[in-house]
Amino acid sequence: MSVQEHVESLRNKHAHLEHLIDEELQRPMPDQASLARMKREKLRIKEEIERLRAAPESKGLAPAA
């Protein structure tokens, strides 16, 4: 899997989590523990996307040896 494919996969997971969070917030009594867990995971995915986008390999450059 290329870096770009991995980033796209992470973006899909991020979007899915956002959808699940929105659904949970629409419930009469949202599960706060579940929301916190999903938000942490969403943030972790966002940080991973940013890390991969900033990596030299994602720009077609070889890492410095």
pLDDT of 42-52, one tens digit each?
Answer: 999 999 999 99
**Position 30, amino acid:** P
C-alpha–C-alpha distance, residues 34 and 21, integer Å: 9
Kind and range of the H or E run holding 9 = helix 3-26
C-alpha–C-alpha distance, residues 20 and 7, integer Å: 20
C-alpha–C-alpha distance, residues 57 and 7, integer Å: 12
Q: Is the pLDDT score of 55 beyond 90? A: no
- The pTM score is 0.79
C-alpha–C-alpha distance, residues 29 and 63, integer Å: 49
